[in-house]
Amino acid sequence: MEGEIGFLGLGIMGKAISMNLLRHGFKVTVWNRTISRCDELVEHGASMAETPAAVVKKCKYTIAMLSDPPAAFSVVFDKDGVLEQICHGKGYIDMSTVDCDTSMKIGEAITSKGGYFLEAPVSGSKKPAEDGQLVILAAGEKTLYEEALPAFDVMGKKSFFLGKVGNGAKMKLVVNMIMGSMMNAFSEGLILADKSGLNSQTLLDVLDLGAIANPMFKMKGPTMIQKNYSPAFPLKHQQKDMRLALALGDENSVSMPVAAAANEAFKKARSMGLGDLDFSAVHEAVKFPEGSS
Ligand SMILES: NC(=O)C1=CN([C@@H]2O[C@H](COP(=O)(O)OP(=O)(O)OC[C@H]3O[C@@H](n4cnc5c(N)ncnc54)[C@H](OP(=O)(O)O)[C@@H]3O)[C@@H](O)[C@H]2O)C=CC1
Ligand SMILES: O=CCCC(=O)O
């Protein structure tokens, strides 16, 4: 990737990824809606721009990592947005988790101005982003994918090129739908063990030695027992992903009762004011369902 890389969106993931790029010697120009969030990146050597359009004007490649479909649309289509400066020879890579339709609309707008578009949502959370251990699920313009590989190699442990725009978004939603359902089953199991007089830590030890051992149970189990829900993956984003995955199921006539029930638990957790905590905080909603105290 020649020249400076633009980066839009410095939330949990955007900050970790852009910091990692800086650490590996990339020149990065950042923008964030809440401008003060740029300060720490600037202290670590980034340049800062006032608007998404200014970032795109300056950089051949611009990456975005934004919360949801409305945010992804806003930075592209609104005043001072990406579309005002995107043109032939410039690439736009959206790493936000959005639905297929959102990604396609953004891709069409970028390419209609002569730009190149790649969607590249990621698997892996805050720590993998800090450590360059993400899994990148790219789709769209193959040439842009190949040009972006030096940066993807810094961000992640593996990149997949999945074909046409929409396939990355779909793959990401399927993975997160499974993850959200697993988190609910795990939570129910922790509660059942506790209420029936078993030791929670012993349950974690047993799980970790068996066929359903996985990094999520290993990492989140101890913090859930301690009720520590410091956000790595905000619950409001997991619920957004369940909602978008259920819509994908709807479009494809796929019945998903397990995912639908998990989505209800995440909605309940949001209504309890837990949306900004880690998605494992759904544990509190599972523990105290509607009507109980
Ligand atoms: N955290 C995680 O573990 C993972 C998250 N993801 C996905 O990555 C994306 C980012 O997640 P994460 O970093 O955790 O989220 P955060 O909530 O920490 O950050 C969201 C970012 O989006 C910006 N934003 C929100 N609304 C708008 C808007 N209308 N216009 C412009 N900018 C906006 C925020 O700006 P501001 O600072 O001004 O609020 C912030 O920079 C999401 O799609 C999420 O689903 C994917 C893999 C893992
Ligand atoms: O979208 C968030 C995914 C979090 C993870 O893969 O650990």
Report the complex ipTM.
0.99
Angle formed at CA 97 by CA 92 and CA 101, multiple of 5 degrees: 75
**Residue 122 beta carbon below 6 angstroms from any ligand 1 atom:** yes
- Give the ranges where 88-141 is alpha helix by DSSP (H): 100-112, 126-131
pLDDT value of residue 291: 52
How far, in Å, from the CA of 90 to the mean position of ligand 1?
23
Position in ligand 2 atom list of the atom nearest CA 128: 7
172 belongs to the catalytic site: yes
**What pLDDT is recorded for position 172?**
98
How far is the C-alpha of 247 from the C-alpha of 153, rounded, in Å?
Answer: 32
| Cα 282 to ligand 2 centroid, rounded to whole Å | 15
Question: DSSP letter at 256?
Answer: -
pLDDT at 293: 47
Q: Would you say 111 and 117 are in contact if contact means Cβ atoms under 8 Å apart?
A: yes
Please give the chain's pLDDT, 293 residues, in tens. 777 999 999 999 999 999 999 999 999 999 999 999 999 999 999 999 999 999 999 999 999 999 999 999 999 999 999 999 999 999 999 999 999 999 999 999 999 999 999 999 999 999 999 999 999 999 999 999 999 999 999 999 999 999 999 999 999 999 999 999 999 999 999 999 999 999 999 999 999 999 999 999 999 999 999 999 999 999 999 999 999 999 999 999 999 999 999 999 999 999 999 999 999 999 999 998 765 54
- For residue 213, what are the CA distances in angstroms to 196, 207, 210? 22, 5, 6
Integer Cα distance of 246 and 251 in angstroms? 9
Q: Strand 61-64 relative to strand 5-8: parallel, antiparallel, unpaired?
A: parallel
Is residue 17 within 8 A of residue 94, CB to CB? The reply is: no
E strands present in 120-255: 122-123, 134-140, 156-161
Residue 218 and residue 208 in contact, taking contact as beta carbons nearer than 8 Å:
yes
Please identify which of the residues 170, 172, 220, 240 carries the catalytic annotation.
172
